């Protein structure tokens, strides 16, 4: 057995073929909740599982529990459009997401689990000369940081994405910014891969275990109240995706976060059409489209536009996304939507994430991911684990503390001001 669990290989598949039922064992279920741990992580999504994995692997911490209200992979890690990229403007963001993208490139090998990283390219489309100037600025910042970026004129865009040749548009394409190494990763495989690897390192993953409160004494947190009883912990990490605001309420802190719904949908399968990730933002609308390995077109757009925890997306936003997709690719107008879902996004007031202590020296928050949560998982797990293990935030996340909202040193990636904005 390797450090990431039973070794997957062609040979193990052959052995399984002749061994019959029972060859494959459950990978993370069955752990018994203990009375005390060195670290308790609340939330078994991508960030929580990756943090647990790196705490165990990189820092040798032995007693770690990941507590999940429902099931591994049930939350936002399995409710996104699978896009990974590092095409950000601000250094505090593009260095972080580039670290994550480099980790994505090696993650299947590291975990011995195929997360299906596909570097098919992420193409932001420009609809005016002014937008081309903005994309050029972002691309130049990326290139100065050693990150791949190519500014394409209209012929270059149509050569890279010939599916866009088909028609005239009200808001036509004048160029685009391409990050060739950007692409997609299978979301649920990420959760399963990290859960498997963490379990093999001794991490207890406890499903159906809701955290309902925090116990404190002498100015420190001593443990968490759960639906299965009290659990003592030396350090506690909250990585709860769209429920970050609720954690603030639990601790008596008002966080600079709003929870909004973000919808996604997938069409019936068709023959290969879209070979990259296309991002198209005409006035007052947005769509990003990619094609899954099964042939369905996966797409999403703006937030629904109001705070909610319901996970019930609104029809008007679905309609906006579909209309914009058809405006970009008229040839898909006859397709049927097969599935449609919504996830809860914890949107900060500057559009950038938060990894910091939360009220107590031994309580940590990993949240406020806005639109960037899925693509950030590998870098987030490594950086957060180092922070928790050493007590010092690594340089990669030093600027992403809560203090920036008090000091005014915001990381406003879009330049849109103090609002929960798109990145």
Report the pLDDT value the prediction gives residue 6, as an integer from 0 to 100: 67
Under the banding of pLDDT at 50, 70 and 90, the label for residue 18 is confident
Which residue among 313, 348, 383 closes a domain?
348
Q: What's the confidence (pLDDT) of residue 113?
A: 93
Most confident of 19-28, 276-285, 405-414: 276-285
Q: Is residue 409 part of a domain?
A: yes
CATH number of 337's domain: 3.30.9.10
Same domain, 198 and 247: yes
413 and 374 in one domain?
yes
Question: Is residue 5 situated within a structural domain?
Answer: no
What value does the mean pLDDT take over residues 106-114?
95
User: What residues form DSSP beta bridges with 278?
Assistant: 123, 289
* pLDDT tens, position by position, 126-166: 999 999 999 999 999 999 999 999 999 999 999 999 999 97
C-alpha distances in Å from residue 173, one per residue of 141, 160, 166, 290, 297: 23, 13, 12, 18, 21
Binned at pLDDT 50, 70 and 90, residue 76 comes out as: confident
pLDDT of residue 108: 97
Q: What is the pLDDT of residue 52?
A: 98
pLDDT per residue as tens digits for the range 199-250: 999 999 999 999 999 999 999 999 999 999 999 999 999 999 989 999 999 9
Q: Are 80 and 198 within one domain?
A: yes
Q: Is the pLDDT of residue 396 over 60?
A: yes
Range of the domain at 330: 118-181+259-348
Give the Å distances, CA to CA, from 368 to 121, 172, 188, 334. Answer: 26, 34, 21, 37
Contact present, 63 and 38 (Cβ < 8 Å): yes
| pLDDT for the residue 337 | 96
Whether residue 174 is found in the same domain as residue 270: yes
Mean pLDDT for the chain? Answer: 92
Residue 16 lies in a domain: no
Is the pLDDT at 2 greater than 70, yes or no? no
Question: Do 265 and 397 fall within a single domain?
Answer: no
How much is the pLDDT for 420?
A: 59
- Taken in order 149, 155, 160, 161, the sign of the CA dihedral is positive
73 versus 180: the higher-pLDDT residue is 180
Please classify residue 400 by burial: count the beta carbons closer than 10 Å to its beta carbon, then call 0-12 exposed, 13-18 middle and 19+ buried.
Answer: buried
Q: How far apart are CA 56 and CA 167, in angstroms?
A: 53
Query: Are residues 150 and 44 part of one domain?
Result: no
Q: Are residues 193 and 223 in the same domain?
A: yes
Domains held by the chain: number = 2
> Is 10 inside any structural domain?
no
Shared domain for 38 and 167, answered yes or no, is: no
| 363-381 per-position pLDDT tens digit | 999 999 998 899 999 999 9
Picking from 345, 350, 343, the residue whose alpha carbon sits closest to that of residue 420 is 350
In 256-342, alpha helices (H):
315-328
pLDDT above 50 (res 423): no
Q: Are residues 170 and 129 in the same domain?
A: yes
Q: Do residue 342 and residue 269 come from a single domain?
A: yes
The CA–CA distances, whole Å, from 112 to 48, 107, 117, 123 equal: 19, 8, 13, 30
In this structure, the answer to whether residues 108 and 190 fall within a common structural domain is yes
Contact call for residues 33 and 68 (beta carbons, < 8 A)? no
Whether residue 127 lies inside any domain: the answer is yes
pLDDT per residue as tens digits for the range 296-351: 999 999 998 888 888 788 889 999 999 999 999 999 999 999 999 998 989 999 99
> For the chain, what percent of residues have pLDDT higher than 70?
96
Selected residue with higher pLDDT from 423 and 407: 407
pTM of the complete model: 0.94
**pLDDT digits 0-9 by tens, 243-282:** 999 999 999 999 999 999 999 999 999 999 999 999 999 9
User: Is 366 found in the same domain as 414?
Assistant: yes
Instruction: Tell me whether residue 9 is in a domain.
Output: no
**pLDDT the model gives residue 17:** 77
Q: Is the dihedral of CA 36, 38, 42, 47 positive or negative?
A: negative
Of 318, 348, 378, the domain-final residue: 348
Q: Which pLDDT score, from 0 to 100, does residue 313 have?
A: 81
Of the candidates 416, 377, 407, 299, the one whose C-alpha atom is nearest the C-alpha of residue 47 is 377
Average confidence (pLDDT) over 37-64: 97
Q: What is the CATH number of the domain that holds 227?
A: 3.50.50.60
The two structure tokens encoding residue 23: 């060859």
Residue 26 lies in a domain: no
In a domain, 27, yes or no: no
Which of 287, 313, 348 terminates a domain? The answer is 348
Residue 416, pLDDT above cutoff 70: no
Torsion of CA 318, 320, 324, 326, to 10 degrees: 60
């Amino acid at each position: 057995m390797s450090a990431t669990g039973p070794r997957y290989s062609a040979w193990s598949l052959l052995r399984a073929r002749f061994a019959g039922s029972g060859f494959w064992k459950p990978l993370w279920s069955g752990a018994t909740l203990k009375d005390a741990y060195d670290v308790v992580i609340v939330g078994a999504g991508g960030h929580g599982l990756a943090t647990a994995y790196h705490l165990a692997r990189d820092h040798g911490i032995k007693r770690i529990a990941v507590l999940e209200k429902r099931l591994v992979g049930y939350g936002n890690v399995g409710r996104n459009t699978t896009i990974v990229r590092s095409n950000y403007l601000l250094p505090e963001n593009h260095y972080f997401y580039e670290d994550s993208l480099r980790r994505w490139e090696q993650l299947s090998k590291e975990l011995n689990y195929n997360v299906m990283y596909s570097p098919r390219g992420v193409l932001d489309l420009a609809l005016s000369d002014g937008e081309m100037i903005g994309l050029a600025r972002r691309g130049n910042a990326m290139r100065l940081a050693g990150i791949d970026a190519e500014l394409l004129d209209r012929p270059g865009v149509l050569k890279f994405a010939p599916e866009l040749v088909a028609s005239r548009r009200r808001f036509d394409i004048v160029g685009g910014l391409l990050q060739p190494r950007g692409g997609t990763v299978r979301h649920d495989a990420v959760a399963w891969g990290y859960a498997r690897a963490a379990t093999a390192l001794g991490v207890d993953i406890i499903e159906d275990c809701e955290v309902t409160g925090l116990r404190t004494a002498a100015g420190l947190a001593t443990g968490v109240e759960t639906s299965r009883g009290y659990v003592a912990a030396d350090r506690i990490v909250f990585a709860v995706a769209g429920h970050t605001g609720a954690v603030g309420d639990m601790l008596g802190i008002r966080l600079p976060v709003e929870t909004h719904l973000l919808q996604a949908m997938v069409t019936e399968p068709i023959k290969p059409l879209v070979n990259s990730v296309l991002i198209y933002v005409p006035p007052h609308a947005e769509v990003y489209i990619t094609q899954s390995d099964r042939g369905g077109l996966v797409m999403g757009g703006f937030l629904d536009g109001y705070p909610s925890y319901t996970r019930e997306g609104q029809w008007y936003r679905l309609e906006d996304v579909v209309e914009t997709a058809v405006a970009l690719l008229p040839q898909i107008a006859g397709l049927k939507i097969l599935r449609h879902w919504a996830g809860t996004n914890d949107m900060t007031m500057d559009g950038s994430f938060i990894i910091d202590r939360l009220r107590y020296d031994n309580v940590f928050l990993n949240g406020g991911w806005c639109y960037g949560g899925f693509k950030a998982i590998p870098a987030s797990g490594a950086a957060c684990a180092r922070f928790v293990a050493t007590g010092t935030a690594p340089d990669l996340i030093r600027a992403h503390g809560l203090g920036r909202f008090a000091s005014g040193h915001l990381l406003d990636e879009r330049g849109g001001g103090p609002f929960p904005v798109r990145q």
